[in-house]
Amino acid sequence: MLQIFVIIIYTAREKDYYRLVDMMIAWSVIHGGPGGNFLSKTLYNALAYGIENVSADPRDLPSSTMQEKIALVSAPLSYSQI
């Protein structure tokens, strides 16, 4: 199974598909268009408008476990909860 992925990755790299996709995403972001459905809203805004103009939102995380951990660390009731 791993050999198949290595062949696919090698072929995509050889044919320069990664560069093509990078250019398509960059072109879209630069012109204010959609950055792709795989980018979170926070990441897209950071790429398009600069990281200094964006505040991270834990709700963008796909994992509910990570969201809960960030919520505990950001507003702990006591030192022992951390």
Q: Are 54 and 45 in contact (CB under 8 A)?
A: yes
Which residue ranges make up each domain of the chain? 1-27, 39-75
5-51 pLDDT, tens digit each: 677 777 877 888 788 888 888 888 788 877 667 777 788 788 778 88
Instruction: Give 12 or 2, the one with higher predicted confidence.
Output: 12
Sign of torsion over alpha carbons 28, 29, 34, 38: positive
Instruction: Specify the pLDDT at position 2.
Output: 66
Instruction: Specify the pLDDT at position 78.
Output: 67
Spacing of C-alpha 12 from chain mean position: 21
Instruction: Specify the pLDDT at position 1.
Output: 59
Instruction: Specify the pLDDT at position 80.
Output: 67
